[in-house]
Amino acid sequence: MMVHVPNVLTPEQVARCREAMERAAWVDGNITAGHQAGKAKHNLQLPEEAPETRELSNMVIDALARSSLFMSAVLPKQVFPPMFNRYDAGMKFDNHVDNAVRGIPGMGMRIRTDVSSTLFISSPEDYDGGELIVDDTYGAHSVKLPAGDMIVYPSTSLHRVTPITRGARIASFFWTQSMIRDEGQRAMLFDLDMSIMRLSNDHPGHKSIVSLTAVYHNLLRQWAEL
């Protein structure tokens, strides 16, 4: 299940990200790549310990907490601290699957990567190429979103970033361990939640809203890992 989450960051927050990144010291993106991904990865990254990373990561975490669509689609248990990468002309990230488990630096804990997220900082007109391509059973899906928008997708997906031919593509990326491990169950809960919200908007006070909400929470109670 892929979900486009619009307006995660405001234009002012996007501008702040760009301002901070102009003075930041970018490093080889392979510092966080696993063995398989290291062979495919050709980009730059902000060091996890950099002050700009800490500031902007906290900004993203706060923004996620305000996004009802992200919460509904992902049902987060633990979010990996957001990181930031940059693709300049000629850079790319070939086909790979994200590591299944990641340790959170400085916290002595690990998370299971159920859901991957890419939050676009660059505007589409800032660069050519650089599409995120995500493969699933229905084919290949190309993603290139406005600045401040985010795409979430299963971390089990084979995906890639096409070569940049002009400009620079800057984004935040991170992973989430969901309360719902199973992708199919997570998708059903999301569809049910969206249907309840549409019914509430179209027919306020309809008796079915309470019944459907009870079904949602009882399924969540049955499936959630806390």
Task: Report the pLDDT value the prediction gives residue 2, as an integer from 0 to 100.
Answer: 96
Q: Which residues contact 76 (CB under 8 A, 6 or more apart)?
A: 64, 70, 115, 176, 177, 178, 179
Cα distance from N-terminal residue to C-terminal residue, the chain:
22
| Residue tagged 């991904």 (tokens) | 37
| pLDDT tens track for 144-196 | 999 999 999 999 999 999 999 999 999 999 999 999 999 999 999 999 999 99
3-state SS string for 3-41: EEECCCCCHHHHHHHHHHHHHCCCEEHHHHCCHHHHCCE
| The domain made up of 3-178 is a member of CATH 2.60.120.620 | yes
| pLDDT tens track for 29-53 | 887 655 555 578 999 999 999 999 9
Is it the case that residue 107 has pLDDT exceeding 90? Answer: no
CA distance 160 to 119: 15
Is it the case that residue 87 has pLDDT exceeding 60? Answer: yes
Check residue 125 and report its DSSP letter: G
Task: Report the pLDDT value the prediction gives residue 14, as an integer from 0 to 100.
Answer: 98
| pLDDT tens track for 59-72 | 999 999 999 999 99
For the chain, what are the domain ranges?
Answer: 3-178, 183-223
pTM of the model as a whole = 0.94
Query: 110's torsion region: left (phi>0), alpha (psi -120 to 50) or beta?
Result: beta
| The domain made up of 183-223 is a member of CATH 4.10.860 | yes
Helix (H) or strand (E) holding 129, with range, is: strand 127-129
Mean pLDDT of all residues in 107-125: 96
More confident residue, 36 or 73: 73
Q: At what angle do helices 51-65 and 11-23 cross, to 10 degrees?
A: 160
CA distance 193 to 187: 10
| Residue tagged 């989430």 (tokens) | 176
